[in-house]
Chain A
Amino acid sequence: MTLKHGKIIDLLYRSFDGILTPKEQTELDNALQHPGPLGEEKQLIETQRKAVSQSAAGYSFNPFFAQQVMNRINALTGSQSYAEIFVDYLEILFKRMALVTITLCLIMISYNILSDEILKIIDLLSPSPVTYEAMLRLPLF
């Protein structure tokens, strides 16, 4: 890589983030007019910047984040009694349990619709009944 090429590459990077002087802009524009590695480099930088910015699309805290911060602030400032903190904690716990239960119900309803076998909550929670005959057939060791 020549010194001039290195300078042009730096100008190319800077053109995305800073304002180039008119002289630098002209220099870069002239270099970009010729098809070649510089154009490919520009495309790669654009792709990379897009990939980095898109990588954060799913970044978020848990749904109860704001309430949790408020609980901590209230505990720190002493403006909330332990009973109130406990009630808030129960509320969050209940919401989480409700979310899990709803998800389970939806899965079960979908399963029941899509398959011939009928799935009941009671079947999932209780062990299968063991008959006296079946117990007699069990090996001792």
Chain B
Amino acid sequence: MLEAARNGDKNAFKELIMKYEQQVARTVIGMLGQGPETEDIGQETFIRFYRALNQFKGDSGIGTYITRIAINLSLNELRRRKLKAKLFFQAHESQTDDQLFNTLPDQNSNERSEINEMVRKGIEKLDLKSRAVIVLRLIDGYSTAETAKILELPIGTVLSRLTRAQKKLKTILQPFLGGVS
């Protein structure tokens, strides 16, 4: 399929998109949350991959390569948002845990989606570096070594970021996960 796409077969490339779009969706939405920009970033990921088809040597898997593009674009988008928030004095990053818990949906709503929502908000509170390792390792299911390769970091750094991120998530999520198995 990859060779056919390289040779200009558009249908083959479309098949590649369909094969990896779910994976890219998990990465991008995991990083950015649901929103209008996520589809754009997802599309841009595949457009960049299309442009780089001839440079892709295949030393890493296609999925890993596409995920690296998706992560880098998501990080750029998050930096852009942060800058925009700073410019407009929005306190998005400094949202306190109390404010976070005040947004907890009422207890009659579906428990699973309630937890998912809290997890998403918890992940949004992580710094960019920690967020990337959590998304790649726990949401995308990459191994620690693959996560390190995608982020171009030593494994030790990935491990310490994972530990730090999980400890922070724990302080946010413990009240909600205490009774969930």
Contacts and interface: CB of A to CB of B under 8 A. Distances in A.
B30 A59 contact: yes
A74 B170 contact: no
A121 interface: no
A66 B26 contact: no
Contact of B155 (A18, A60, A79): A18
A56 B123 CA distance: 12
Interface residues of B, number: 46
Interface string B43-70: 1001100100000000000000000000
A17 interface: yes
Interface residues of A, number: 33
A44 B177 CA distance: 8
Determine chain B's interface SS by DSSP, over half rule: helix
Interface in B3-42: 10, 13-14, 17-18, 21-22, 24-26, 29-30, 38-39, 42
A59 B38 CA distance: 11
A69 B173 contact: no
Interface in A39-72: 44-45, 47-49, 51-62, 65-70, 72
A52 B170 contact: no
Given A17-B137, A17-B159, A48-B170, A70 B10 contact: yes
A59 B141 CA distance: 14
